[in-house]
Structure formats: C-alpha cells, structure tokens
Structure 1
C-alpha cells in the first residue's frame, strides 16, 4: 500500500492506496470505525486487492491523521472523504464502512450526488432520527465524561469486551487503543459519538439509493448495534447478514466469512 497525505488547515489526513491500481478494476473505499485505524481492514485488503483497487484511511483525528481539530462534524469528515475520492479520481466506488465509517458513508451519500456502486455497513446503525429515543441521543452526547471516569487499564479492557471475540481482532484493536493517551482517547470517542448524535438530530432522510448490505456480528455487544441492525433491515428492507463468532469488529473477528459475504454482494453489482 502506498501512503498519501491529504493536507488541510484543519489537519492532515493519511490514507493508503494499493500500489498496483488499474483503470480496469473498480474501487473499494474502506472506512474504519471510531478510534480504530486503517489496519482494521488488513484482512479485507489482502483478500480484495487482486480484483479491486483499494483505499483505506486513518480518519481525521485518528491514528496518523493527527493532530486534527477536535471540533469536527460528521459532515466535515464526509467532506474530507469526498475530496480524497475526487483527488484520486475514483469513480463509482463501493464504500465499506465499519461502525463510525458507515455513519460517515451515510452522511456522504446525503451530501453528494455522485453515485457509488454499493455500500456495505459493518456493525453500524442508521442515521434516521425515527429509530432513536431522546435518551440514546443524550447518552451519545455524554460519552466523554463517562469514559473519563473509568481507570485507563479498565477502560481498555471494557473497550475490547463485546467489540472483539478473536485473538486477532483483539490484538488488532488493542494496538489502536494503546497508541492513544487516555485523555485523547476519551476526547476522540466522545467527539465521535457527539457528531453521530448531531447528525441524527438534523433529521435528514439519509436516503441510500445504491445497493446496500448490512453485516453485524452475532456477538456484537457495543451499545444496541444488534437491535438497531435488525430494525434498520426491517424498516428499510435491507439485507442483513449476521456474522457468526464475531463481535463489533466482525470483519477482524471472522474475516473469512465477512470477505465471502462481501464478495458475493459485489458480484451482483
């Protein structure tokens, strides 16, 4: 993978593209979740890079994309994504977002008219306000304070519980968490959840006009992700596949199953 840097006054954003990009191959854009880095999708890029051009990033304020202004919004992150896609001259990509990455994708689709080939949501939730109660939005806006009250080692341990079930997935995410100091981790997580609540409160329709696949770990214990996936699937008529033996980072916990499900979805596009 070739590392590149998108420069802005708000901060620089690091992203990676496959070295052997071909005009004859379609693109997949991978967007990791909140506090996770680009390595979250290592197993997917390894699998798909022979058939697709691939791009993955450290989202603004994440990983190597620091320092970055910590008052970012979901729309701003979607705007940065759009500018990188334009910069790389990517047309009709498939966007695969895990957790926060899928929120970014929904914001992106609501802001820009350029079509995408497909959208895969991994362990995420809808942004439509109709799915949420007021207390859930309150909780999202007060995550930072709750995280700060927990000792750092315990916070790391709890952050892994329910998010990952495999030894590979656990080490993959643990490496990302331990790259942060506690204060920064709490601020980043808090800001991320706050931007999701803000985006929901905008009460946009967040239409998804491209083919979509929902994936969710059977053992996902992050908030109410499992129940929201079922409501999202039923409410909008989207296909939902539950990933066996996997938590919130299901693409790292059970990459073989996830890769196969994504591959089957892509072949129908």
Structure 2
C-alpha cells in the first residue's frame, strides 16, 4: 500500500491505497473512532491484489495528526469524496467499523448512487429515530467522563472492552498509546459529539445500496447489539452474529469477516 496525503486547511489526511487495476472493484475501509488504518491490517492482507483497496487515517487519527478538531460529518464526507475523486475511486464498496460505519452512511446519503454496497462492522444505524433524546444528549458530554478515569485503566478498558482476541487487544492498546491521555479524551469527546449532531441531522434515511450488518456476539461497546437487532428488524438488512468476537470483530475473527465481505461483494457486483 502506498501512503498519500490530502491537504486541508485544518491539517493533512493520510491514506493508503493499493496498486489499482481497472478491471477490479474498489473496497474502501473506514476505521472507527480513535483507531487508525492498522485496524484493517488483516483485511488489507487478504484483499490487496484481489480488489483495489483504500484505507484512511481519519482526520485527527493516527498519522492524520495534528488536525484541528473543527470538522463534523459534512467535512468528513466531503474529504472522503474529494479523495475518491482524486484517486479515481468509483462505485466502491464501503466497509466501516463503528464510527466508520456512521461515516459510510452519511456518505451514502450525501452522494447517492455512488456506492456499490456497504458492510457495517460493529456499527449501528445513523437514522435519528433509533436514538433516544437522552442518548444523544449524553454523547455531547464525554470528555470529563473519560478524563476522570486513570489513563492506565482507560487503556485496559479500551483494549479489553473492544476486542476478545489477544491480537485485537494488543492492536488497540498500541493504537491508544500513540495518543497522549488528553489528546485521546478530546478526540473521543469530539467523535461522540460529531455522532450526536450527525444523527440529529440525518433524519430517518436508510442506505440506498445493498447492506450487510456484522456484529460480534460479545460486542459490549454502548448498545451496538441492541441497535443492530432493531436495524435488521426494521429494514430487513441481513445481520450476521460473529461468535468469539467483540466490538472490533474484524480483528477477532478476521478470516470469517473477510469471507463474509468477499461473498457480499460477489453477490452485489452486477
């Protein structure tokens, strides 16, 4: 994968892109809040060479730092669209984990007809009607809740609470330690605030492309399992529960997730 940089007035966005071929489909990976591109290492390892692959460090994440926390969902989707146009990425499949899934939904709404399919990995619906008022309000006040937790404890909670496998937990711990405690808490707070505002603005719109929902049976992050049950019931989107997997299920059971993504892509390439 070749690392490239997209310049914005708030900072530089770093992304990785494989050597593309005109006869292969595009698969774009969008990591979750505070995670960087390494979250999808096992997917890139499998899919690179089979498909044209893209993965980014979202603004203020990983190598896309420093980056002013003055962006919201509209800016994120605009940045992503501009990068796709720059690289000639047309009709991609989007695979978004957690916050990456929310970004994917906002992108699909803003740029209808430009996405071939969407795989939600331990994410949830962005539509406003799924959220209660108190949930949206609570999302806007996460900073001091995070700051009151001792850093070493927070790192342990962040790694063991998101992954079940030794690999997944180690990856998340290494990622968290790339941030200072204050930087990490500010980024998490900004991300939750961004999500709250995006849900309020999203309305009751659902993706207009094929969708596959993946969720770890041991996902303990927020209310992901509850949201996914409601999501599949309301829309009919297929939902697959992943055994032995937590919130970062693509790091816990990568082979199974890779197989499911590839099957979904093959079924929706017409």
Settle same-fold status: TM greater than 0.5: yes
- Measure the CA separation in 2 of the matches of 1:256 and 1:229: 22
CA contact (8 A) 1:58 1:65 kept: yes
**Structure 1 partner of 2:136:** 137
Q: How does 1:55-204 map to 2 (within 5 A)?
A: 55-204=54-203
Following superposition, the deviation at residue 50 of structure 1 comes to 2.1
CA contact (8 A) 1:109 1:206 kept: no
Deviations 1:202-234 (A, max 9, x none): 142333111010000110000100110111111
The question of 1:15 aligning with 2:15 is answered yes
- Measure the CA separation in 2 of the matches of 1:93 and 1:148: 38
- Measure the CA separation in 1 of the matches of 2:250 and 2:14: 22
**Structure 2 partner of 1:225:** 224
Q: How does 1:30-69 map to 2 (within 5 A)?
A: 30-69=29-68
Structure 2 SS opposite 1:231: helix
Unaligned runs of 5+ in 1: none
CA contact (8 A) 1:11 1:67 kept: yes
Deviations 1:53-90 (A, max 9, x none): 10001000000001111121012111111111111011
- Measure the CA separation in 1 of the matches of 2:212 and 2:114: 16
Structure 1 SS opposite 2:144: helix
Structure 1 SS opposite 2:162: coil
- Measure the CA separation in 2 of the matches of 1:196 and 1:155: 21
RMSD: 1.0
The question of 1:268 aligning with 2:267 is answered yes
Following superposition, the deviation at residue 2 of structure 1 comes to 0.3
CA contact (8 A) 2:118 2:210 kept: yes
Structure 2 SS opposite 1:7: strand
**Structure 2 partner of 1:6:** 6
- Measure the CA separation in 2 of the matches of 1:232 and 1:221: 17
- When residues 49 and 203 of structure 1 are mapped into structure 2, their CA distance, relative to the original with a 3 A threshold, is closer
- Measure the CA separation in 2 of the matches of 1:207 and 1:225: 17
How many equivalent residue pairs? 268
CA contact (8 A) 1:27 1:92 kept: yes
Unaligned runs of 5+ in 2: none
CA contact (8 A) 2:20 2:52 kept: yes
Q: Report the TM-score, using the length of structure 1 for normalisation.
A: 0.97
Q: Report the TM-score, using the length of structure 2 for normalisation.
A: 0.97
CA contact (8 A) 1:75 1:104 kept: no
Following superposition, the deviation at residue 49 of structure 1 comes to 1.1
Deviations 1:140-167 (A, max 9, x none): 1111110011110011111123310001
- When residues 76 and 241 of structure 1 are mapped into structure 2, their CA distance, relative to the original with a 3 A threshold, is same
Moved over 6 A (4+): none
- Measure the CA separation in 2 of the matches of 1:83 and 1:108: 12
